[in-house]
Structure 1
Amino acid sequence: MDRRQFLTLLASATLATTGVGYAVSGRATAGEAVPDPTDPGPRPAPVAAASPSLLPPPPPTSRIRLPGGGALTALPGAGDLLALTVDDGVNSEVVRLYTQFAKDTGVRLTYFVNGQYPSWTDNSALLRPLVDSGQIQLGNHTWSHPDLTTVSKSRIADELTKNDKFLTKTYGVDAAPYFRPPYGNHNSTVDAVAASLGYTVPTLWYGSLSDSQLITEDYLMQMADKYFTPQAIVIGHLNYLPVTHVYPHLVQIIRDRKLRTVTLNDVFLAP
């Protein structure tokens, strides 16, 4: 092996080791081999190590009817689907970074929106194209996040209706039939009022990233490792920044387990 071949192989090995990094800004970074100034021959341009893309969602022809009655807590049947659903929107920067994360990686998400937070208007220009394309679905999480089991029927209706109108006006979507009762709390009264407004599917979850409050990145990863499993509905939150620091790791778990991220509309037929 001559000197030029050796340097080329060394550069390739370095690049394969460093690969492509993902920054929360959404820009990819790649390691570069340092050229030898004493080598008079042509130097190959650095090439980033290939990173496998996420698996696409199943075709629309595979959609199934919504299960009748009761809350939705997991995706039915056996398969390779993961419904990552994220709630609230307390922090506008987290909403922006989550949305940029989806745009950069192709991850499909369902956002359960509390319209009272400015994050949903602050980020509408970035978010709207992903909503229009179906990559991000919007669901109703009430306007201001009260425990619906503790308020009157009229307040339940007002919370869902006000949020519904906000989503229609801001994003042009009908969020029905999916609503997520705050704290997961619902009862027959809540369900009946919601159903009268077209929200027939209380949408809960199988696993949680446990980030409704501020937690560490390490704990987030433990929760993702535990709950990113086939046919799971997993809940996360758009409230605190630590989750925005672990996006590459979340994607790697999804890739390693060969899961397909889906919205609820990817799985179920429209009622």
Structure 2
Amino acid sequence: MTRRVTVGAAGATLITSGLLLGAAHPVTAAPSEEAPDCDEVACVALTFDDGPGEYTDALLDTLAEHDARATFYLLGSKVGDHHEEVRRMAEEGHGIGNHTWKHDDLTTLSHDQIRDDLARTDRAVAEVTGERPRSMRPPYGALDDTARETIPHPMVLWDVDTLDWQHRDGERMREIALDGVGDGSVILFHDIHGTTVEAIPALLDDLTERGYHFVTVSELFGDDLEPGTAHTDARSG
């Protein structure tokens, strides 16, 4: 059963509004093990905001070593300087989401500004991967009626906030994640912080020992990931 907050759905035409795919073709993910069945095993979605950045490639190395999938909520303004990392995310089976162009609070923007911001970020990702992001995350988790009515993507929030951006302490980040995690959790990190990336290997080991499998947001929510809906976590049962 999915825990979610249903909001007003935007018109279907907005889903591709302003999105023009460039010459790029969809990236084909490298062969990997089939995603686990989250109805049968415990799954969590690791999500990383505000990148890509200087530590993203090292994080991708760590995820590959642990056979872990994650979802990256990217700032469109950073994609141009990190084409290789973004393409690698897609090739290695990670999810890619829209986190706006430069982290503006959507509750301060008009309908047209929100639409144009998200479309610009969609284009930046699509020019590298050939596909637009499947979901988005509002900066600060901030939504108001205008944003809800305008955003065409499924909106993915979180139920475990590691506060890694605030304390910059890898051990504290791990403690928060381990204390709050449950089957179906969406855990929030920021891969722009070296302390976070350095702490991820030990956290992956800890979560693996507890029986968790690491999947993308799309794999966690499946058909419940719908436009016009804000999701926090998925719970089975």
TM-score range for the pair, normalised by the shorter chain length: 0.7 to 0.9
Q: Highest relative contact order (Cα 8 Å, sep 6+), 1 or 2?
A: 2
Deviations along 1:110-147, one digit per CA (max 9) or x if unpaired, are: 00010112xx344432442441342x110111111111
Please name the residue that 2:68 is paired with.
107
- Among 98, 114, 118, the residue aligned to 2:59: 98
Please name the residue that 2:211 is paired with.
258
Change over 3 Å in CA distance of 1:232–1:88 after alignment to 2: same
Is 1:58 matched up with 2:36? yes
Larger Rg: 1
Change over 3 Å in CA distance of 1:248–1:102 after alignment to 2: closer
Q: Aligned letter for 2:132?
A: D
- Among 120, 130, 155, the residue aligned to 2:113: 155
Deviations along 1:236-259, one digit per CA (max 9) or x if unpaired, are: 112211012212211111211110
- Among 178, 181, 191, the residue aligned to 2:138: 181
How do 1:88-237 residues align onto structure 2 when only pairs under 5 Å count?
88-89=50-51, 92-117=53-78, 120-134=79-93, 136-176=94-134, 178-195=135-152, 199=153, 201-237=154-190
Q: Number of residues paired by the alignment?
A: 192
Compute the displacement of 1:56 (Å): 6.4
Change over 3 Å in CA distance of 1:132–1:173 after alignment to 2: farther
Kept in 1: contact 2:110–2:146 (CA 8 A): no
Q: Aligned letter for 1:95?
A: T
Compute the displacement of 1:78 (Å): 8.7
- The TM-score, its normalising length taken from structure 1, stands at 0.65
SS of 2:60's equivalent in the other structure is helix
Aligned counterparts of 1:133 and 1:240: Cα–Cα separation in 2 = 22
Over aligned residue pairs, what C-alpha RMSD do you find? Answer: 2.3
Aligned counterparts of 2:61 and 2:81: Cα–Cα separation in 1 = 14
Q: Aligned letter for 1:217?
A: G
Kept in 2: contact 1:228–1:253 (CA 8 A): no
Change over 3 Å in CA distance of 1:107–1:123 after alignment to 2: farther
Kept in 2: contact 1:78–1:231 (CA 8 A): no
SS of 2:189's equivalent in the other structure is strand
Compute the displacement of 1:191 (Å): 1.4
Kept in 2: contact 1:146–1:182 (CA 8 A): yes
Kept in 2: contact 1:217–1:243 (CA 8 A): yes
- The TM-score, its normalising length taken from structure 2, stands at 0.73
Aligned counterparts of 2:40 and 2:144: Cα–Cα separation in 1 = 29
Q: Percent identity?
A: 24
Q: Which stretches in structure 2 are left out of the alignment for 5+ residues?
A: 1-32, 227-237
Kept in 2: contact 1:124–1:171 (CA 8 A): no
Q: Aligned letter for 2:51?
A: G
Change over 3 Å in CA distance of 1:148–1:121 after alignment to 2: same
Aligned counterparts of 1:181 and 1:248: Cα–Cα separation in 2 = 27
Q: Which stretches in structure 1 are left out of the alignment for 5+ residues?
A: 1-54, 63-76
